[in-house]
Structure 1
């Protein structure tokens, strides 16, 4: 697997710090300079610097630049119970850093935590429930004041998350909801977003709409599937589940999903439109359609990605602001668990293609 460019930049800077080439307090290259040096966009270089700041390697000062921090991040973790400043630390656990959504969440949460004068420590679970649980226990034992967690894709929540909830440990879940257990969470309007996207396709005459998604293992995938179903019900049409390509978590994790998607599209030549439920599957489908010469098929997706016909855009910044607000509410001693929904928007990138409807 090719390493993400922002991770390469991050690791190069960490290596320079560890080798002494960059000293504590030293000003490092700007976003623009790093972008030019590595041949990437400033968004990518900014992400690398934000991640370094979140992990405690550097400090970013508005209007002044990015400086190497005096204290190594492992020292910060080890000194939670001795250093008063670390009493304001909270933990952020994300499943990956592969998509722009992941990067926006990290950037936004770091920004709002900084505004709330909260230090933030980050762990990437890499879609592993085991690593997620280890990170929770590690941070909890270190004395962090609270958690913001984007849980991994799985059928049930980890025991570590359940314990946080039962112990009323300050915690906010992103894009997931603990059914029948009291917890704070913030989610995009998953059902409404998919309902709008599918309705737009139906209004243009598309009835053979493929639905490509991970297996329904959590509230997010469940709500997005219900959005598809409700759009057909509202339109007075029956739902053809043979047009659903549901991928197991094992298929996705092992890298077998592209092959299954290609086979599915070949076996359903009458499909005129495809809806994918996330950015990863959108890229898988985009490549499959291109390789099969099926670029005439309309492609709509949840999350904004390039080279699609239309997409549902989440308000990641508002998700981040709300998540930090819900966490600070708990840190202030208030405990009123609830789920907050954030509106989404629908965008069509190539409206002229609707004039070439395939009925």
Structure 2
């Protein structure tokens, strides 16, 4: 059982380490109490001695003790109850046992699409709070994602921002394992059913609608749709896109739609199939005059194949994708796209993890923020060719 005597005894018999010698007195008091919490000498729910008692035990001014208590409170290790005192938080030991200097970013892909900007901004924000960053690629595979999560728990990371695998949808128990280990999680792009955690979501239906409206505004009425795979996210894109077409009395023909194999994230694997499907679509008498694709990496493939076929964009056919606001390559700069500010999303994810780790926000919270989107015109979006 923890008592004031225990604090006094340990304080008097423990010398200052080299690290302690460089700290201020209130930081040394805070670190001393942290060690006792971490080692189980002070248990969750225990009431700490009063500020006056601690000041006497540590031979310090009350203002110094108050600073130490403020430090522990900001880190989510103690909570103050008006009129009752200061108590050790239920998850204090978990927080201290976690590798609080490491934040993990778990994503389906690292080199294409949204992900380079997300990585860069997340790492930038993590470094500002003196945290290291670990990037884990799942290839959009839930089994690989599950293994990654187990490794993160074993390595006691301080927090995880994750773009959940989508084919099939991420099971709730994978994310729940992290939360049960006291590791904060921020969901990026899409939710996970049954999980309560901060969500930085994308407005998928709105993205599809904006793409459709951009094409409709250029008088396109026969449109094609390409997606790497069929998921709930894809269905939301389609709902918005089809609504924009329906508003002008048009529909998306089944023969003008293409979905790749479940779980495929590498566009190289779909390249031959994309080329073949495009060829078949464009040979039809009612061929599409414009194409909307749900992923910029696929849009790049389509752009190259259309060019090989001798088609000009936007004179012969228009193309619009979905991607990051930062257009990383020369080819991306050409392609029209509904864009998301992934830089902002990465910064916000790191910020939320820091708030949860320091006790400013509960690990299980219903906070949802939807990222804004806008249309990037590029050079592949133009008026319909009436001769097509």
TM-score (norm 1): 0.69
Q: Aligned residue for 1:67?
A: none
SS at match of 2:170: coil
Q: Aligned residue for 1:108?
A: 121
SS at match of 1:237: coil
Q: Aligned residue for 2:256?
A: 243
Aligned 8 A contact 1:188 1:341 in 2: yes
Aligned 8 A contact 1:188 1:342 in 2: yes
Shift of 1:301: 0.9
1:204 to 208, 211, 218: 218
- Residue 141 of structure 1 pairs with residue 154 of structure 2: yes
Q: Aligned residue for 1:340?
A: 369
Q: Aligned residue for 1:271?
A: 288
Structure 1's 121 and 255: CA in aligned 2 closer, same or farther, altered over 3 A? closer
- Residue 302 of structure 1 pairs with residue 322 of structure 2: yes
Shift of 1:255: 4.1
- Residue 285 of structure 1 pairs with residue 302 of structure 2: yes
CA distance in 2, matches of 1:297, 1:264: 15
- Residue 323 of structure 1 pairs with residue 340 of structure 2: no
Aligned 8 A contact 1:188 1:319 in 2: no
Structure 1's 198 and 283: CA in aligned 2 closer, same or farther, altered over 3 A? same
CA distance in 2, matches of 1:232, 1:197: 10
Which structure 2 segments of 5+ residues have no match?
1-93
Q: C-alpha deviations, 1:188-240, integer Å up to 9, x for none?
A: 3332222112112112211111000133324x333222221221233333332
Structure 1's 205 and 355: CA in aligned 2 closer, same or farther, altered over 3 A? closer
CA distance in 2, matches of 1:85, 1:181: 21
Structure 1's 167 and 352: CA in aligned 2 closer, same or farther, altered over 3 A? closer
Shift of 1:242: 2.4
1:187 to 189, 201, 205: 201
Q: Aligned residue for 1:214?
A: 228
Shift of 1:356: 4.8
Aligned 8 A contact 1:212 1:244 in 2: yes
Aligned 8 A contact 2:123 2:133 in 1: yes
Q: Aligned residue for 1:39?
A: none
Q: Aligned residue for 2:136?
A: 123
CA distance in 2, matches of 1:268, 1:237: 18
* Root mean square deviation, CA, Å: 2.9
Structure 1's 320 and 251: CA in aligned 2 closer, same or farther, altered over 3 A? closer
Shift of 1:251: 5.9
Aligned 8 A contact 2:97 2:156 in 1: no
Shift of 1:173: 1.6
* Aligned pairs (5 A) from 1:347-358: 347-350=376-379, 353-354=382-383, 356=385
CA distance in 1, matches of 2:118, 2:381: 32
Shift of 1:307: 6.2
Structure 1's 297 and 307: CA in aligned 2 closer, same or farther, altered over 3 A? farther
SS at match of 1:275: strand
Q: Aligned residue for 2:111?
A: 98
CA distance in 2, matches of 1:180, 1:160: 11
CA distance in 2, matches of 1:105, 1:340: 16
Structure 1's 250 and 191: CA in aligned 2 closer, same or farther, altered over 3 A? closer
TM-score (norm 2): 0.64
CA distance in 1, matches of 2:337, 2:387: 19
Structure 1's 350 and 85: CA in aligned 2 closer, same or farther, altered over 3 A? same
Q: C-alpha deviations, 1:286-309, integer Å up to 9, x for none?
A: 122122222321111111552645
Shift of 1:148: 0.8
Shift of 1:110: 0.6
CA distance in 2, matches of 1:176, 1:190: 9
Q: C-alpha deviations, 1:48-77, integer Å up to 9, x for none?
A: xxxxxxxxxxxxxxxxxxxxxxxxxxxxxx
